[in-house]
């Protein structure tokens, strides 16, 4: 039974799938004190939050059973991502659920800013009728500059186009072809800042985007520009914005987010050109339900070890690529786990080579899985999330290579491992209808199923050696299920791979090593 702790208010309909799940116990406790959260998190397999709960490194360390943290929304500023990653905890969000709501709110702020709607409303209900005081501007043929063309930026661009605005967009991942497809113009950050009549930001808050719009940026803008932020507080330098409004460089600003929330007495609020809302971008019934539904489904997939897609601390994998790589995942992990058991010493380097068809796709997700299989021999609690982190922390060099040649196989994965005292390489592939196979160990060709208990024996190829090995195993009541022999020269050095029915006891290893023909015996558990 999985225990899911929910510490912020979430839509009941949104979490219904968790409540109905027979293998899940849902604990809803909102408004916990930091001390109460530390107590509750000890027993949770997953934690679901919105923006109120602060998931600190201390909270994460206390969550000994924690496998997943779900954020019902997009921003994860309240979650210590590095701490979660180092512990191998998957952090997921719901980037699609509030896309439309946030885009619509941004557009509402854009129109309100252009036509002074909040200011006109307040004046009118106070008994005034100041038509000339609230003259606005049309959106028609104005230039909207969008910084960050992700899901929300794209939805906003569509709405702006419907109002006959010219859209300039900057995004480091925006291609000219995609911009042309949605009818907008790709631009540099400077071009957006210099040319736009309205500028809206839709980026995450990072070290690179903090105070992206600063005194320097405002100086480049055209007089009378209007600024909108419904993304994250801190992307705009609020003091610089206030100064630019006072100097009449900026005609007005519409803000839904602030560096500190709630902002309290803020210098921007003293300026009549500023309109503000209390972080309402995702505050619609539909968005509240959608983000809860999305993140609940993701957490359920993680707990049940099923495929999931919105991990914040794992690179996003397109569905098409995920489908191509899925058949190789088991093979990848087994290769890493097999290879590391055949060497001795402290791990220095892992090199993964992809050959054949695999050389033509992004194989980074498979490399993470191989690394997980490798490190699991040394460490507990290692997974796809924290494997690269743990390797880097231990100064283990990880290299990925691609080769079009695959030595007669459609696809081939080779894992080379080097320690401070030895090295090895293991190659594997998928055989149609037969599944994963190890087809090479070092210089020796074999055909080994990478499952269960194995025994790798390095020996000299002499008559009777295999028979005597069988006899010794029989004497220790260990049954041989499969046998493969790899050799390069008759009478030379060779390897023997035995699949056996149970774990190999130490006394059996010692008995085999007493044979004159045998150089080394290595039990392998897969």
Q: Which residues are catalytic?
A: 232, 261, 279
Distance separating alpha carbons of residues 48 and 113, to the nearest angstrom: 35
- For residue 169, what are the CA distances in angstroms to 110, 143, 196, 285, 289? 16, 10, 10, 30, 30
Of the candidates 260, 259, 253, the one whose C-alpha atom is nearest the C-alpha of residue 237 is: 259
Q: Look at residues 48, 58, 35, 49 and name the one whose alpha carbon lies nearest to residue 2.
A: 48
Nearest to 162 by CA among 95, 111, 96: 111
d(CA 102, CA 394): 42
- Compute the distance between CA of residue 5 and CA of residue 43 in angstroms, rounded to an integer: 9
236-258 burial code (b ≥16 CB/10 A, e <16): bbbebbbebbeeebbbbbbbbbb
Report d(CA 384, CA 307) in Å as an integer.
Answer: 12
Burial grade of 319 (CB within 10 A; 0-12, 13-18, 19 or more):
exposed
Q: Which residues lie below 8 Å from residue 194, measured CB to CB, with a gap of 6+?
A: 220, 221, 222
* Greatest pairwise CA separation for the chain in angstroms: 109
* Residue 351: strand, helix, or coil: strand
What string of H, E and C letters represents the secondary structure of 242-266? HHHHHCCCEEEEEECCCCCCCCCCC
Please check whether residue 71 is in contact with residue 92, taking contact to mean a CB–CB distance below 8 angstroms: yes
> Closest by alpha carbon to 394, among 367, 374, 423?
374
Closest by Cα among 69, 62, 65, 73 to 85 = 69
> Quick one: which H or E segment has residue 218?
helix 215-220
What size, in residues, is the chain?
A: 526
Residues 59 and 41: beta-carbon distance below 8 Å: yes
The residues, ordered by sequence, that sit 6+ positions from 186 with a Cβ below 8 Å of its Cβ are: 169, 170, 174, 175, 176, 179
Going by C-alpha positions, the residue among 101, 50, 99 that lies closest to residue 77 is 50
Task: Copy the structure tokens of residue 302.
Answer: 């993680």
Separation CA 384–CA 370 (nearest Å): 9
């Amino acid at each position: 039974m999985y225990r899911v702790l929910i510490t912020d208010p979430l839509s009941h309909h949104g979490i219904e799938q968790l409540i109905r799940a027979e293998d899940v116990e849902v604990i809803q406790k909102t408004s916990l004190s930091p001390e109460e959260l530390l107590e509750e998190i000890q027993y949770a397999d997953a934690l679901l939050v919105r923006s109120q709960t602060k998931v600190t490194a201390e909270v994460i360390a206390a969550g000994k059973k924690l496998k997943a943290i779900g954020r019902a929304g997009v921003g994860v500023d309240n979650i210590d991502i590095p701490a979660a990653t180092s512990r191998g905890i998957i952090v997921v969000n719901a980037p699609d659920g509030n896309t439309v709501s946030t885009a619509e709110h941004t557009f509402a702020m854009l129109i309100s800013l252009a036509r002074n709607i909040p200011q006109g409303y307040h004046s009118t209900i106070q008994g005034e009728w100041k038509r000339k005081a609230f003259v606005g501007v049309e959106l028609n043929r104005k230039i909207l500059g969008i910084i960050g063309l992700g899901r929300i930026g794209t939805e906003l661009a569509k709405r702006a186009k419907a109002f006959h605005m010219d859209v300039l967009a900057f995004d480091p991942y925006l291609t000219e072809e995609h911009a042309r497809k949605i009818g907008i113009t790709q631009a540099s950050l400077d071009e957006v800042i210099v040319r736009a009549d309205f500028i809206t930001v839709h980026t995450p808050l990072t070290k690179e985007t903090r105070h992206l719009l600063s005194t320097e940026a405002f100086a480049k803008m055209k007089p009378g520009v209007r600024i909108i932020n419904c993304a994250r507080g801190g992307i705009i330098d609020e003091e610089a914005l206030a100064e630019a409004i006072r100097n009449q460089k900026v005609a007005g600003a519409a803000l839904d987010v602030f560096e500190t929330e709630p902002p309290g007495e803020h210098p921007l609020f003293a300026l009549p050109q500023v309109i503000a809302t209390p972080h309402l971008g995702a505050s619609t019934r539909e968005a509240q339900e959608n983000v809860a539904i999305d993140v609940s489904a993701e957490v359920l997939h993680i707990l049940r070890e099923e495929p999931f897609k919105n991990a914040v601390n794992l690179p996003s994998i397109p569905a098409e690529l995920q489908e191509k790589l899925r058949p190789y995942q088991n093979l990848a992990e087994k290769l890493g786990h097999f290879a590391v058991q055949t060497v001795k010493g402290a791990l220095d380097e892992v090199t993964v080579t992809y050959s054949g068809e695999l050389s033509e796709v992004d194989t980074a997700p498979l490399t993470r899985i191989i690394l997980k299989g490798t490190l699991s021999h040394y460490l507990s609690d290692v997974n796809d999330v924290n494997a690269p982190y743990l390797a880097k922390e231990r100064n283990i060099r990880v290299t990925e290579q691609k080769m079009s040649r695959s030595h007669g196989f459609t696809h081939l994965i080779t894992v080379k491992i080097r320690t401070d005292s030895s090295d090895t390489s293991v190659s594997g592939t998928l055989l149609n209808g037969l599944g994963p196979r190890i087809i090479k160990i070092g210089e020796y060709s074999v055909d080994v199923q990478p499952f269960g208990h194995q025994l790798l024996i390095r020996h000299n190829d002499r008559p009777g050696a295999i028979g005597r090995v069988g006899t010794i195993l029989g004497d220790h009541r260990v049954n041989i299920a499969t046998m493969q022999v790899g050799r390069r020269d008759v009478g030379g050095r060779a390897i023997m791979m035995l699949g056996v029915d149970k774990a190999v006891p130490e006394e059996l290893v010692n008995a085999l090593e007493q044979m004159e023909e045998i150089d080394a015996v290595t039990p392998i558990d897969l």
